Structure 1
Amino acid sequence: MTEASTSPGAAAPRRRWRSKHRPVWEEAPGPAGFTVKVVVLAAICLAVLFPLYSIVLTSVSSQDDITRAGGLVTVPGNLTLAAYHQILSGGIVTRAALVSIGITAVGTVISTLVSLLAAYGLSRPGSFGHRPLLFTLLLTMFFTAGMIPTYLLVSALGLINSYWALILPTAVSAFNVLILRAFFMGIDPAITDAARIDGAGDWRVLFRIVAPMSKAAIAVVALFYGVGYWNAFFNAMLYINDNAKWPLQLVLQSYVLQGVTLPGSGTGQVDVATGAVTGLPVKMAVMVLAIIPILLVYPLVQRHFTKGVIFGAIKG
């Protein structure tokens, strides 16, 4: 081994490409790495957006274009809104959309408020029954009663065929409560102690200090609950017998996936000679209507998503 290879300055040229203060994975990629990232991200975006594009385009395509394409349309042709007019002109689809909106709005408010109260209580180390309640909450994340006991409980409470059966059984998520609890525990105790010295009680501390400082976490939890209520159909399948009370997702699951023609939905096959649309564009239109609310709400909450979840998880 030569003296040059053992000298401190001999290895310096081999480390010039990266900073001494950052690990290698935080360095800016070279031209080849940048190209690979662009190609991979473009492929992922294409894989996500192309099916959505095809669904939307099929929902606004004429019957001739659908017949010519042999199914889903990928090239625009004669565009028409007949499918949307058909499903929004009344019937079970329109009613189901209103039911889903109502359940999502009411359920999200109730679930977020209950989770907020539970998380604040569990974040106070000296609160009554702190450890047993926290252990019980954690236990529900791994063990559940099962479908039959839950159905018997809902039936005993008289909630069968009631909208409350779509809200109360899933009103609280232990995971969401833990996210809020972790976020609350990250707030400097000196802030709440100062408020208590000034005479503020628990309610004022929660809604005037803790909640405004935790808008990011609350927005993320509200998004989780909202998406859950909007996409849920299994509870409606179990507890709702009247199809007039079905949410949109159950209509979507029954009509699109199972091919059931719903009474009063206006989604049956009709003669092409009349100019009316057939089942496929109507199915795609129902899918688009089920996707649009989430696409509209998510960008409003997205900026809080990373901060709310990651910060809460780290501080826990």
Structure 2
Amino acid sequence: MGVCPICFDGLKSPVCCVPCGHVFCNVCIHRWRTTTPRSMGNILLNYHENRSCPQCRSEIHALQRVRFDDQDVQESEEAEENPWEATDDYTTILKSAYSIWSRSELRKACVTAQSKIFSISWVQRSWDIGKTCVTNLGNIVSEFRHVEGGPEVQIEWLKNRAKQGYITLQNKIVSHPKVESLRTQWSNFSEEKKRAVMLLIAVICVLTLADAQSPEGFLQSVILPVFEAAFAVMFEIMSMLSYCLTRPLVCSFHCLMSIILMILDIVVAILRTPIAIFEILLWLPYTMIMGVTLFLSNTVGTLMRTVFPLALVLYVFFPGVQQRVREIFADLQQN
């Protein structure tokens, strides 16, 4: 089982420092990056957290979660302690983004473009027909779900529903003005003309069926490619329109999220700066005391290394100094 170099305990939710590759507990490395004292240059260049690895002191570009196959590695039950992590109130973020989007000029431009597109008659008709079909299909599905009984009852209900739809479509076709005009014209024809028209229709139907069965026929070699090309063109146009309508929305949403994250980063930097300054001021007395202690110890050591050999030389080579030292020791013994 791995050991964390910070807490010297088993790794809990291990993370790897990139690019140096040293592994630590997730909580330990976050605590290190947010509480370790930093230099003034590091504070000026980085507002968020300490970027150095606690083991090799190299710069940390990112933290990567690590998973081991060893079952002995303990899973951390603690939450990741990162007090500067972004808020989880996504509802507030989405509401703010929607409020900004509802007042933006881009939304007004999209609404204007949508109104211009739907002002085209065939686009509006296609849209209305599509909405009607979707609504009717939804009603049929909703009614089918509430049909009680077994599969036989449901099949019978579908048959009745299809029959009703066929009758409704037939009534709409019969009541159409163009169909009424054709019926009036047909009633004005003579019997011979009606027979000739019926014979012509029968011949056209037979020739059409025979032509449709042949791959080299007019329908499959000429008409069908035209219809396929027309459907392909319509599909491309609808794809282009949908892309033009949705792409600005997606881009604006990404821009809003980037702006919101930028504002959060600025707020975190503003809040982190006083804490960093307080940490620096808190460590200043300790630094001064350690500096004074080091200075005094160096001074005493220097004096001992300089004065003691000089006094020893004076005592050995100068009898007057020896006599004076003996007198001082004699006075001390008498007192």
> Larger RCO: Structure 1 or Structure 2 (Cα < 8 Å, ≥ 6 residues apart)?
1
Structure 2 length as normaliser, TM-score? 0.20
Structure 1 length as normaliser, TM-score? 0.21
If you compute each CA radius of gyration, which structure gives the higher value, 1 or 2? 2
